[in-house]
Homo-oligomer: A and B are copies of this chain.
Amino acid sequence: MRAPLGEFDLIARYFTHAAPRAVLGVGDDCALLDIPAGETLAVSTDMLIEGRHFLPTVDPDALGHKALAVNLSDLAAMGALPLAFTLALALPDADPAWLEPFSAGLLRLASAHAIELVGGDTNRGPRNLCVTVMGTVPRGQALRRAGACVGDDLWVSGTPGDARLALGAMLEEWHIDAPALRTLRPRLERPTPRIALGLALRGMATSAIDISDGLLGDLAHVLRASGVGARVEADAVPASPTLAAQPRERRRQCQLAGGDDYELLFTAPPSMRTDVARAAARAATRVTRIGVIDTSQSLLVVDADGHDVASGFSSFQHFGAP
């Protein structure tokens, strides 16, 4: 039997967890958090809507993970250490068969990052999840978009494109055999926020962004904010084995224009190459140099023969002065 949503004891049961770092957690008008001296607060908010960001059939455990992961990814891209988050939730009903795995997926990722759920709001309505995440970064050390310098290397973490390849297979745009899809799907449904890498890159990266809208589209944000251009070597972008086995055009589409990867795209001076490699090793995260920042005020993506390969990707079409 389903309990009516008005009975908040059900919600309290699923979303209450220990919050030892908060001065005051769930249960008062506000949560209270102490920010360490010398640290700046970093804040980001994301809303996930059923039918737009996820399908009604999604595994609730994976959805709980992803709702928090996409927000943590924003902290990672600033080099911030996660501190706490709030969750506002609209649900058509208070179904334990959904709430239990959803909260399990959410709180498992929270625990992995020692981050606390400090406030929330639950309502009846079309399914909608709004997470606001807070973190801290030493004053002046945040990794912003507006810091890329001419001559900097352009780096990317992981193997971008896997999430888009998985989505295309699930939408039957193309076929991926079942064992390969089982490996790919977690890259779409349970992305890994690159918190460890973001922290390790403090003081090294000159700019950073997370890839949520596609590599070229997000790179365009960095270039615009920094007032510079870039040249990307298409064949340098790393690919997972399944992605590497795809036809070249599909591979490039996924790598360059696919969203939902939540990898970090960042810049650093060439003098920092060894430091960046060591930082990535410390963070146990693969990083690859894929291009260079230049004075061109444009974004050029070239193949091994130097031919421009970017013009086919829509996320890149409208790049230019705002």
Which A residues contact B (CB, under 8 angstroms)? 23-24, 27-35, 37, 40-47, 49, 51-53, 74-75, 77-78, 80, 84, 86-90, 118-121, 123-126, 128, 130, 132, 134-135, 137, 139, 142, 144-146, 208-210, 225
Q: Closest B residue to A144 by CB, please name it.
A: B28
A-B contact pairs, 7 of them (CB 8 A): A23-B142, A24-B144, A29-B74, A30-B77, A32-B40, A51-B125, A86-B132
* Chain A contact residues: helix, strand, loop or mixed: strand
Q: Given the complex, which residues of B lie within 8 Å of A145, measured CB to CB?
A: 27-29
Q: Closest B residue to A39 by CB, please name it.
A: B35
Since A30-B77, A49-B90, A125-B126 are in contact, a sample of 16 more A-B pairs with Cβ atoms closer than 8 Å, ordered by chain A residue number, is A27-B225, A28-B144, A29-B210, A30-B74, A31-B42, A31-B44, A35-B41, A43-B134, A44-B119, A45-B88, A46-B88, A49-B124, A49-B128, A51-B125, A52-B124, A86-B132
Do residues A31 and B43 form an inter-chain contact, with CB atoms below 8 A?
A: yes
In the complex, how many angstroms separate the beta carbon of A93 from the nearest chain B beta carbon? 13
Do residues B52 and A118 form an inter-chain contact, with CB atoms below 8 A?
A: no
Do residues A41 and B45 form an inter-chain contact, with CB atoms below 8 A?
A: no
Do residues A32 and B41 form an inter-chain contact, with CB atoms below 8 A?
A: yes
**Measured CA separation A35–B125 after assembly (Å):** 35
Q: Given the complex, which residues of B lie within 8 Å of A53, measured CB to CB?
A: 123
Q: Closest B residue to A50 by CB, please name it.
A: B125
Do residues B135 and A30 form an inter-chain contact, with CB atoms below 8 A?
A: yes
